Amino acid sequence: MCAGSAGGSSTQRYPLAPVRLIEPFGPGGGPDVVGRALAQRLSERWGQPVGVVNHPGAGATAAPALVAKAPADGYTLLVSTSGHAYSAAAASGLPFDPLRDFVAVSPLTSQGYVLVAGKPVAVRTLAELIAKQKANRDGLTFGSTGVGTGTHLGTEKLNHAAGIQAVHVPPSPVDAISNVIARVVEGEVDYAMSPISIAAPYLSDGELVALGVSSACRSPLLPNVPTISEAGIAGYEFPIWYGIWAPACTPPGIVNKLAKDITAAIAAPDLYHWLTEHGAEPVSMSQQEFTRFVLDESRRAAQILYDAGIEQT
């Protein structure tokens, strides 16, 4: 229950002080890059400093834990990925509730993962990977950044749709996606989902093979790589998306202003074109639509975990 709310006057004049966007993955990651581009536009719009604060740790839960405990006044926000919604289905024992302790404010962008295989697997297409898995008595292995993360759920959904059972090799507690992809390159695991920006240098050098992208359409960053649906898993779609959340009990007036101003900033031609040139699709939803979307994504994660026979951790 929310004990109270900010007065109407302060809500109407928001923001009156600097605003922080807390992100959980560290410098150079997608939420950091998109968050900083957004922060610049919001700062220009509001006449107040808006900055991104990198707060990695605890398996990307340190940042949401910080925001969940912050004052519900609109000055401390979370910029994160779809993994925040998935964690509600995948993890128990968190120091916060990913749904009840936050209000979903606005989506930002959506972009595909790329499914990659290492050279030792000796496959060039998704069909070859599936055939090899079905013919391999010991089974192939896939990596991810952890149970219930997007890289894990996207691969489990693919495996289920393809009718294969591969062995999930979970990361160590400190493994970032770059570490996971390096393990694919070295042959320690056979395949994985990766943000395109992380896999791109290895694809250029020929150390990884791109088997498909997880979005509904091909990525402008990898125009010659088919979607996973085109590659043989009809209807498959599992993009990674970014969004903004505020602490629960943030006054509705502030939430609505945030949602409208973020939507306007993302839709501005300069930022819109910059995002699309970097392989991201700007997403527009009302605050109410985004709230429903986050709940649906959490339910989708729960279904994928159920289909894979994975219990909540």
Residue 171: what are its φ and ψ, rounded to 5°?
Answer: -80, 170
pLDDT in tens, 108-161: 999 999 999 999 999 999 999 999 999 987 789 999 988 889 999 999 999 999
Question: Does position 12 have pLDDT exceeding 80, yes or no?
Answer: no
pLDDT of residue 312: 64
Q: Coil, helix or strand for 118? A: strand
- Which pairing describes strands 102-111 and 281-282: parallel, antiparallel, or unpaired? antiparallel
pLDDT in tens, 235-250: 999 999 999 999 999 9
∠ CA 60-240-161, rounded to 5°: 115
Peptide bond into 15 cis (omega under 30): yes
Which element (helix H / strand E) includes 11?
A: helix 8-13
Domains annotated for the chain, with CATH where assigned, are 16-110+239-307 (3.40.190.150), 113-213 (3.40.190.10)
∠ CA 60-113-287, rounded to 5°: 65
Nearest one of 61, 56, 38 to 280, comparing CA atoms: 38
d(Cα 81, Cα 83) in Å, to the nearest integer?
Answer: 5
Question: What's the predicted TM-score (pTM) here?
Answer: 0.92
- In the Cβ-directed half-sphere of 265, how many Cα atoms lie within 13 Å? 23
Which element (helix H / strand E) includes 259?
A: helix 252-267
